[in-house]
Amino acid sequence: MNRRSLAAHALASTLVAAPPAHAEQFYAHERVVVQGRHYYLRQQPLNPAIFNPRELHARARPDGGIHLIYADFTNWPLRNLYMKAFDSWGNVITPDSWCLETDYHDISLSLLVLEDQVWIAWSDAQATWAQRFATDGEGPIEPRFVLDDQMQSTEEISLASNGSIVVAGFSSWDDGTPPWGALVRYYDLDGNPLTELTTIAGSTGATHYSNTKCAVAPNGDTMVSYTRALPSLAGFHRHGSLSGGFGAPQPMLAPDNGARPYALDDGGFLLWSGSGEPWLSAHVQRFMSSGSSGPFRSIDANLFGGFAANRRGEFVQYYRRESTYAPPTCEFYDANLNLVSGRIPVSRTGPNPTQVAIAFPGDWATVLEDDGTFWCMWTIDPRETHITMLKPFTPGDLDGDGRVTNFDIDPFVLALTNREAYQAAFPHVPPEAIDILGDMNGDGLLTNFDIDPFVDALVNGP
């Protein structure tokens, strides 16, 4: 049983049947400036009606924003799963909706978001299952179906897609029957198998493989990372494809049981791997479309809370609190592996201490969108879960295209003179964000004093 399994069992043993009488929720809309970069920070509770939701899984939506699922453990061992979606500005577009009830095994829950459907996968004593749901919250597209009947009581499932095929990675060691180890299988977008189950690394009595994670590039090339726990700790990755099979195992830079590959738009991959127990350092490495290794860098992973990367190769390292009253923080890196921000606090809780952030190694509750928007989840006493969005923006960009141009003149004047008309023209922009976007002189408000700095930004650049 790995650390995530132990954590899941520990969480289950500390369940509270009902929320406290005075649970607190914190909302925030702020401008955050770090090394000349501007971010719109939006913070909100996940679902105040459910105390201490567990096993949050979030993924980026193709049209911006995130889709997430989470579990209510009130009726343990059954879990009620809920679904929710936000647009690229943090507005709820699919409110909390119940999707299914299951007694899934261990931490096998997994999420995949596609253009027009959402996959939820889980494992029980009979098989590994999946169900497809509409992205608009209208419910299931079809009843659940079997992903693989050989994968019973699977500990972990990893789902990845390039929009044409789906690859599922399985970690199996509690199953009473073989195969055991790290395994993968390909599917079409309707859930029909395209291949048989493929063993990436087979476990025996003397060896133990787990933590299987998958990523699939636009051309179908696939990277699978996995960990050997016995007889000695080591991490590996293999490259392959639907039709060409998989190459020989390659060792990771950091030999630990935490790793995650990300597919990039250029056909390559980004691989995060952790080192130490708990994580003390980590390595991030680029791989070319050919599978050959590229540049890498070491980063601090002490107090690790999560990791996320986008298809451009940018990534964010997420950290838990450093002391009792310190908030969790994050650091941004560009596609060349360069650090581009200091540590940014991601929570606003007033006088309350921030607890350990609910985030795991880039696989559960952290997301970095392709436009650089970062999402993370965290908790406060008494375990109320919140969501923070950090969205990069350019001051004066009132039409939301990411730049300050002549097309922002009319929206700027509209926001300055008639807020209601601006909101009607740009309903996706939260009302609380208008001052944040339009404030050019740093006083926190959009007023007539911002006109001259706005004109200067138009003429000379921000």
Render pLDDT for 316-359 as a digit per residue (tens, 0 to 9): 998 876 655 577 889 999 999 999 998 898 988 765 544 444 44
Cα 142 from chain centre: 26
Looking at the domain that runs over 3-391, which CATH code has it been given?
A: 2.130.10.120
Go through 179-205 and write b for each residue having 16 or more CB atoms within 10 A of its CB, e for each that does not: bbbbbbbbbebebeeeeebbbbbebee
For tokens 């606090």, what's the residue?
345
Average pLDDT, the chain: 85
Percentage of the residues of the chain whose pLDDT score is greater than 70 = 85
Residue 89: CB atoms within 10 A of its CB come to: 20
Average pLDDT of span 113-138: 90
Average pLDDT of span 91-111: 83
Go through 427-450 and write b for each residue having 16 or more CB atoms within 10 A of its CB, e for each that does not: eebbeebbbbbbbbeeeeebeeeb
Tell me if 270 sits within 8 A of 223, measured CB to CB: no
DSSP state of 326: P
Average pLDDT of span 405-414: 95
User: What span, in angstroms and rounded, lies between the C-alpha atoms of 320 and 324?
Assistant: 11
Name the strand (E) or helix (H) holding 459.
Answer: helix 451-460
pLDDT at 447 over 80: yes
Sign of torsion over alpha carbons 174, 260, 217, 290? negative
Label the pairing between strands 208-216 and 181-187: unpaired
Render pLDDT for 1-44 as a digit per residue (tens, 0 to 9): 333 332 333 333 333 333 333 346 789 999 999 888 999 999 99
Contacts of 218 (CB under 8 A, 6+ apart): 162, 163, 263, 265, 267
Render pLDDT for 129-183 as a digit per residue (tens, 0 to 9): 999 999 877 789 999 999 999 998 888 899 999 999 999 999 987 666 788 899 9
Average pLDDT of span 272-297: 81
pLDDT at 3: 34
Average pLDDT of span 404-418: 95
pLDDT at 14: 30
Q: How confident is the model at residue 360 (pLDDT cuts 50, 70, 90)?
A: very low
Q: How confident is the model at residue 105 (pLDDT cuts 50, 70, 90)?
A: low
User: What span, in angstroms and rounded, lies between the C-alpha atoms of 153 and 180?
Assistant: 11
Average pLDDT of span 371-381: 86
For tokens 């809920």, what's the residue?
82
Strand order in the sheet with 92-102: 54-60, 66-72, 79-86, 92-102
What ranges make up the beta strands (E) of 280-340?
281-287, 293-300, 304-309, 315-319, 329-333
Domain boundaries, the chain: 3-391, 406-460
pLDDT at 404 over 50: yes
Q: How confident is the model at residue 204 (pLDDT cuts 50, 70, 90)?
A: confident
pLDDT at 19: 38
Closest CA to 417 of 438, 399, 400: 438
Contacts of 76 (CB under 8 A, 6+ apart): 12, 15
pLDDT at 128 over 60: yes
CA dihedral 279, 285, 289, 290 (to 10 degrees): -100
pLDDT at 2: 38
User: What span, in angstroms and rounded, lies between the C-alpha atoms of 233 and 256?
Assistant: 6
Tell me if 370 sits within 8 A of 310, measured CB to CB: yes
Average pLDDT of span 262-277: 88
Tell me if 118 sits within 8 A of 67, measured CB to CB: yes
Sign of torsion over alpha carbons 87, 89, 90, 92? negative
User: What span, in angstroms and rounded, lies between the C-alpha atoms of 437 and 417?
Assistant: 15
What ranges make up the beta strands (E) of 103-221?
110-113, 117-123, 128-134, 145-148, 156-161, 166-172, 181-187, 198-202, 208-216
Average pLDDT of span 99-109: 75
Name the burial class of residue 23, with classes exposed (0-12), middle (13-18) and buried (19+) by CB atoms within 10 angstroms of its CB: middle
Percentage of the residues of the chain whose pLDDT score is greater than 90 = 54
pLDDT at 382 over 80: no
pLDDT at 385 over 90: no
pLDDT at 350: 63
pLDDT at 229 over 90: no
3-state secondary structure of 145: strand
Provide φ and ψ at 196, rounded to 5°: -80, 170
Average pLDDT of span 218-237: 89
Average pLDDT of span 443-449: 95
Which of the two residues, 228 and 363, has the higher pLDDT score? 228
For tokens 């350092």, what's the residue?
281
CA dihedral 445, 449, 450, 456 (to 10 degrees): -160
Name the burial class of residue 231, with classes exposed (0-12), middle (13-18) and buried (19+) by CB atoms within 10 angstroms of its CB: exposed
Render pLDDT for 49-82 as a digit per residue (tens, 0 to 9): 777 677 889 999 999 999 999 888 777 767 788 9
